[in-house]
Amino acid sequence: MAGEASKIRDQIGEKLPVIPGARISLGRMRGVDTANWVGVNLYGDDTQTLNELVLEAKRRFRANPTVKEVHTAQERGLEEVQIRLDRERAGKYGISAQAVGQVLGIVLRGREIRGFHSSDGEVEIWVKLQEEDRENIEDLKSVIVGGGADGGDILLSHVADFEIVKTAQSIEREDRRTRAYIGVVCGLENRDESRRLVTDIMNSMPLPMGYTWSFDRWVAEQDQGNQEFLFDMLLALFMVYFVMASLFESLAHPFAIMFSLPFAFVGVAVFLWITHTPFNFMAQIGLLILIGVVVNNGIVLIDHVNNYRRAGLPRAQAIREGCLERLRPILMTAGTTVVGLLPLAFGTTSIFNDRYFPMARTVMGGLIASTILTLLVLPTVYSLIDDFALSARRMWIRTRPTAAAPAVPPAAPASERAV
C-alpha cells in the first residue's frame, strides 16, 4: 500500500499547476509506512529562535535535489500580526506601551463599561470598534493612540512597526525543552539513505549554544525495534540449537544443521531483491518463522543418516543412502509450503495497513534456497564436523591421565628361593 500511495502521490505532484510566486505542496501521508519519510526534532529554550532554525533547515533541505518535500509545524499554523512598539518614537510623543496596550484591548477585544438600568433590567454595554473598521492591517495602523502637542492625532503606525508572521498552533515541550518538528520526504531508495542525508544536512547547520537536534520518536522506536529483533533472532537460534542438541544427544550434528540458516538468509535477500519487496516489520516476522522452518529439512536428513550409521553402514554410504531416500520427502514438504504461501505472497491481505506479502516472500525465498543448498552442502558440512568431532574425541582420550599400574616386587635370588 505504501508503494501504491507513493506512486499516486508522485502523479498528483507532477500534474499540479505551476503558479509564479506560489509554492504548492502535498500534505503528509498518515497511516502509511513510507520508507522515505524522516522526522527531525529541534530542541531549545526560545520559541522564536527555534522558528528561525526551522526556516533555515527548511531552506537547506529544499536546496538539496534529492529532497522532495519538507513539512513543518509552522505550515499548519495561523498568520498573525505582530506589533512592535518603537520606544524611541513613542517616547517623543509621550506615549507608553501600557497606553498602547489599553487602546488595542478596547479596539480588538472590547471593554465592558458600567451598564444602565432599564425597565427590563440591567443592560450590558461594550465599547469596541465595529467589525468593518478592523478588517485589515490598514485599519489597525490608523488606530489613534494619543494626541500630539499641536493637537494632531498620533496613529499607531507612527510609533509601531507591523509584521505578518505565521506561528505554530501550539508550543510543544519534551523533557522540559521546547521542541520544533520538521518532516522530510526524500527521493532515495530506502530509509537508511534518507537518514544519512538528513544527518549530513542537519550537522552542517550551525546551532546556537543550548540548541540540539535528534530524530523523532518514530525513528527512535524503529532503532529500538531493530535491536529487539536482533536479540529475538539470537534467542531463537540458541533455543533451536538447544532443542536439537538434546534430541540428537550430540553437539556436533546440530551445529551442522545450523549451517543451513546462512543459505536461507541469502535466499531471503535475493528473493526480496528480485520481487522489490521492502524488508519491514512483517519481513522480520517471516525471518523469525524461517529459523524454525528451515532446520526441518536438515533434521530429517541427518536423523536418517544417523539411523543408517547405527545400523552398521559406513558414514559415506549412510550419507548417500540417506540423501537418496530423503530427497523426495524434503522436496515435497518444501514445495507444498511454498505453493501454500503463494496466495499470501501476491495477495492484498493486510491488517492495520501492514501487508502480509513481505512475510510470505521472506519464508518462500529462504525455504527455496535452503532446500536446494541443504541437499548439496549439508552432507559435506556433516562429514567435516563429524571428522572434527572424532579427532577431538581421540585427542581427549590420548591426553586423559591413566591410572598407575600396581608395583610388582622384584624376584628373589635363586639362593634365597632354594632356602
Look at residue 285 in the predicted model and tell me its pLDDT: 86
Q: Is residue 65 assigned to a domain?
A: yes
- Residues of the domain holding 155: 83-110+124-163
Q: What is the rounded CA–CA span in Å between residue 37 and residue 309?
A: 58
Q: Is residue 418 assigned to a domain?
A: no
Q: Are residue 51 and residue 156 in the same domain, yes or no?
A: no
pTM as predicted? 0.54
Look at residue 32 in the predicted model and tell me its pLDDT: 42
Domain count, the chain: 3
Q: Are residue 265 and residue 128 in the same domain, yes or no?
A: no
Look at residue 2 in the predicted model and tell me its pLDDT: 45
CATH number of 89's domain: 3.30.2090.10
CATH number of 351's domain: 1.20.1640.10
Radius of gyration of the chain (CA): 40
Look at residue 34 in the predicted model and tell me its pLDDT: 52
Q: Are residue 71 and residue 182 in the same domain, yes or no?
A: yes
Q: Are residue 275 and residue 250 in the same domain, yes or no?
A: yes
What's the pLDDT tens digit per position in 105-147? 877 777 777 767 777 777 777 777 777 777 777 777 788 777 7
Q: Are residue 202 and residue 283 in the same domain, yes or no?
A: no
Q: Are residue 230 and residue 376 in the same domain, yes or no?
A: yes
What's the pLDDT tens digit per position in 19-73? 776 666 665 554 444 556 788 888 888 888 888 888 888 888 888 888 888 888 7
Instruction: Supply the DSSP symbol for 403.
Output: P
Q: Are residue 296 and residue 229 in the same domain, yes or no?
A: yes
CA dihedral 339, 343, 344, 347 (to 10 degrees): 150
Q: Are residue 390 and residue 294 in the same domain, yes or no?
A: yes
Look at residue 13 in the predicted model and tell me its pLDDT: 63
Residues of the chain with pLDDT under 70: 1-16, 18, 21-36, 74-78, 115, 166-170, 189-190, 349-354, 400-419
CA dihedral 264, 265, 269, 271 (to 10 degrees): 20
Q: Are residue 261 and residue 369 in the same domain, yes or no?
A: yes
Look at residue 418 in the predicted model and tell me its pLDDT: 40
